[in-house]
Chains A and B, each alone.
Chain A
Amino acid sequence: MATQSKKEGMLRELTPRPLPQGNPYKPMAATVVETIQETGNIKTIRVVIDDPEQMANFKYEPGQVGQLSVFGAGESTFVINSPPSMKDYLQFSVMQAGEVTSTIHRLSAGDKVGVRAPLGNFFPYEDWKGKNIFFVGGGIGMAPIRTIMLHILERKKDYGKVSLLYGAKSPSDMAFSYELQGWLDNPDLDCHLCIDNPAEGWQHKVGLIPNVLTEIGPKPDNCVAVLCGPPIMIKFTLQALEKLGFQHENIVTTLEKRMKCGIGICGRCNIGSHYVCIDGPVFTLKQLNGLPPEL
């Protein structure tokens, strides 16, 4: 699957990963097959690549991102948040924020879009074999967590205890609401849900993610913590994980900065000498500590 990703000249090794075929700037024409209004401002778009051969041969790893474009509006980066085993479609869950995402929110089945993928590195799930995994997803940050979590659950026998803490502002802000009961009932998954403030009929935890995490108190031994969410949640969740005793190499996050080219050239997503689009988006806290503080 992996394509060689280092050529002469660059002084840094990149993890081999699946890469876009052909011209990296040319999107694959694709068609929206389904949209799901997840919450007031999150919409899931499922697309199928128009060329059946390209669709059948499309390979990616969990955590890799794609540039989803609506022609005329432009393109933006989103994680492919369906697991690689899903061969029927590619899924992107998009929070409405700017011009491109607003246009994406207006898409419906049958509309034409463009997809440039797969881009970036992926979650190092091979290295996690035999370990417990604690996933933490906050708001739209649940999108990449969903991909890797489903991927891990498909291979549960290779891993120890798998836990999830998924938090959102309120029950109506929880994306993937139709999947939550299944996750709660799944014997392979220790699933915790939380919202910021009490709400009528809410059966689960209440509180901010870092506090709820501290309350659950996952043991750091032989455990990897994988988190994604808004910057403020990341900041305090990292502190909570450190207090719980997690080593920096066992804390993994995925950064999605503003990107244009997606192949390490255009100069927007760099943190010091590293580019989120080729060195990331997945980083351990240990790796981030080695980069200049420019998040």
Chain B
Amino acid sequence: MSITRFVKPEGLPAFLAHLSKDARVLAPVVKPADKRSVVFEPWKEGKEFTLEKATVPAKAAVLPQCETLVSYRKVKDKANPQNVTLELDDTPQAETTVVFAARPCDARGYVTLDRPYLKGPIADPYYKARREKLTVITLTCNSGCNTCFCHWVGGGPSSPEGSDILMTELSDGYILQGITPKGDALLEGSGLDDGADRFKEMEDVRKAAWATLVKAPNLKDAPAKVAAKFTDVDFWTRETDRCLSCGACTYFCPTCYCFNITDEGEATSEKGGRRLRTWDNCMSPLFTREASGHNTRMEKALRMRNRVSHKFSTYPENWGTFSCNGCGRCISNCPVSLDIRQIVLDAINADKAAK
């Protein structure tokens, strides 16, 4: 049996304080605004936090919205000013980080990102540096919600994939279960009470969570069916009729990982500048526009086709599994209520509808 610990709700701040001694702790924090949201922020002692599902997943822990890849500057040899060299600094910025109270869909998101970032022809050194310093503590979901569908795509409310520790809310507190050796070690050094006697109760709570979920349709044929719809542009035009190309679906997604690389600051000066990597958005018509004006995804239908195909057909073709983890944020944050589930189901049921 894995290592388990138990903590009362009032013990959580002390646990976070313990974690933050050696690491940056990212915890969900409420941001009051016209539209209230929950985001992950670095926690320090005394800061309020919540255990709600975050509006924005903690993807930035491994893939910041913006980061420096290389800083550059020209260096003149003072004795011989004609002798100019280019100084390039590419040290990855990575700090030891604990993500606290992610959800299983978000934790699986890290595994989804690991494949292209670590297992392609060349590993991404910046991602790798941060990923190796990351510990994920995941709060299992005690119930589903009307936009999430992790169980359609291979996950579940207590899926351990991508988590180092799974935490489950019981009647009077939280049980923490080590999933990886890293998680076990963290729990062993946490000073929390043993939770072995609550293990049975934990299993019951997790099982009850499954019972709250709607029945999942069979998506086994989704990769082939979505691929088969590729050339049916009318289908994609219909499905994306009301899309605004705002890109919210990509920015809120725990597994969207496209990026842009741009320069900031001239290298002609000794002050220099930086080459930046920033999140990009395949819903933008600029995403694939070439200097010549040629653009393979000029229409929004073709851009959404790319996004849905990547999640449900082409990523599976490359890596053997969906890259959508069913968190539902692209649905709950869409200003026009587009629903990726419906697009996939329509692709699957297209033959039946035609008959």
Contact = CB atoms under 8 A, between A and B. Distances in A.
Interface string B279-300: 0101000011111101011000
A9 interface: yes
B121 interface: yes
B104 to A, nearest CB: 21
A5 B121 contact: yes
Contact of A273 (B117, B267, B317): B317
Contact of B121 (A8, A101, A263, A293): A263
A124 interface: no
A97 B25 CA distance: 46
Interface residues of A, number: 52
A131 B354 CA distance: 49
A268 B258 contact: yes
B261 A266 contact: yes
A69 B120 CA distance: 24
A187 interface: no
A10 B318 contact: yes
B124 interface: yes
Contacts of B306: 270
Interface string A283-295: 0000000001111
A24 to B, nearest CB: 5
A250 to B, nearest CB: 26
A292 to B, nearest CB: 5
Given A73-B263, A74-B262, A273-B318, A10 B119 contact: yes
A266 B120 contact: no
Interface stretch (B83-91, B131-139, B140-148): B83-91
B267 A261 contact: no
Given A71-B273, A258-B290, A268-B280, 17 more contacts: A9-B119, A10-B115, A12-B317, A25-B125, A25-B261, A26-B70, A27-B88, A72-B267, A114-B88, A261-B259, A263-B120, A263-B121, A264-B121, A267-B257, A273-B315, A292-B227, A295-B296
5 contacts: A50-B86, A114-B72, A260-B260, A260-B280, A273-B314
Nearest to A4: B121
User: Which 7 pairs, one residue from A and one from B, show the smallest C-beta to C-beta distance?
Assistant: A98-B291, A71-B267, A267-B258, A97-B291, A273-B314, A9-B119, A72-B266
B74 A261 contact: no
Interface in A1-57: 5-12, 14, 19-20, 23-27, 29, 50
Nearest to A260: B261
A182 interface: no
Nearest to B126: A25
B173 interface: no
B260 A266 contact: yes
A278 B272 CA distance: 31
A61 interface: no
A71 B275 CA distance: 8
Contacts of A257: 288, 290, 296
Contacts of B262: 74
Interface of B is mostly: mixed
B335 interface: no
Given A26-B70, A72-B268, A72-B273, A50 B120 contact: no
B119 A71 contact: no
Given A20-B122, A75-B261, A266-B258, A112 B267 contact: yes
A114 B125 CA distance: 19
B5 interface: no
A263 B119 contact: no
A272 interface: yes
Interface of A: 5-12, 14, 19-20, 23-27, 29, 50, 69-76, 97-101, 112, 114, 231, 257-258, 260-261, 263-268, 270, 272-273, 278, 292-295
B209 to A, nearest CB: 30
Contacts of A273: 313-315, 317-318
B66 to A, nearest CB: 14
A268 B287 contact: yes
B296 A294 contact: yes
Contacts of A71: 72, 86, 263, 266-267, 272-273, 275
Contact of A97 (B74, B120, B268, B292): B292
B296 to A, nearest CB: 5
B265 interface: yes
Interface in B317-337: 317-320
Nearest to B120: A264
B309 interface: yes
Contacts of B119: 7-10
B202 interface: no
B35 to A, nearest CB: 28
Contacts of B257: 265, 267
Contacts of A98: 290-291
B3 to A, nearest CB: 28
A50 B262 CA distance: 23
Contacts of A267: 257-259, 280, 282, 310
A94 B124 CA distance: 28
B263 A72 contact: yes
Nearest to A98: B291
B80 interface: no
A10 B120 contact: yes
Contact of B265 (A25, A72, A97): A72
Given A71-B273, A272-B314, A292-B231, A23 B90 contact: yes
B263 A74 contact: yes
